Structure 1
C-alpha cells in the first residue's frame, strides 16, 4: 500500500502504523442469514467476510422478511443456516 500511496501522491510517504483484522467467513464463502432451525426466534446474520457493508441492506431485508413470517425466497434458502446442519 505504501508503494500505491506514493504513486498516488507523487512523493514518498511514511507508514506510521499497520493493522490487520479478521474477516469472518463460512466454508462456502456465503453469509449465514435467517432463523436458526428448531429455534425460529433466533435469527442469525454473520459470515459476510469483507462484504459486510455491501450486503447490509439485503441482510436487513432478509431478516425483516423472516421476522414478518414471509416464506423464504430462493436467496433466503441459499443463505439459510440449515445448509450447515
Structure 2
C-alpha cells in the first residue's frame, strides 16, 4: 500500500552513496519492489560487507541520468 516510486528509466538505484561512505542506496523499484527485494537485499549485503557485487551495478548507478 502507498506510493511506489519509479525512476524515469524504470530501473532501481542500487549503489553505495557517492556522498556518504556509510550509506547504501536501494530504491525506485516501483511495482516490483517486493519481487526484487531479495535480490536487492543480497546486493546491498555484498556492498555493505565490502565484497564485489555478484552483478554489474553500473545500470543501477544514481548518476546514470
| TM-score, normalised via structure 2 length | 0.80
Q: Alignment RMSD, CA only?
A: 1.8
Bigger relative contact order, structure 1 or 2 (CA pairs below 8 A, ≥6 apart): 2
Matched, 1:36 2:36: no
Q: Distance in 1 between matches of 2:7 and 2:21?
A: 21
Counterpart residue number, 1:9: none
Written as runs of structure 1 = structure 2, the 5 A alignment for 1:1-85 is 21-72=2-53, 73-74=55-56, 76-84=57-65
User: Are 1:36 and 1:42, in contact at CA under 8 Å, matched by a contact in 2?
Assistant: yes
- Size of the aligned set, in residue pairs, is 64
In structure 2, C-alpha distance between the alignment counterparts of 1:43 and 1:29, rounded to whole Å:
19
Greater percentage in helix: 1
- Structure 1 residues 15-74: Cα deviation after superposition (integer angstroms, max 9, x where no partner): xxxxx8432100111011121113221111110000011000111011000011123431
Structure 2 stretches lacking a partner, 5+ long: none
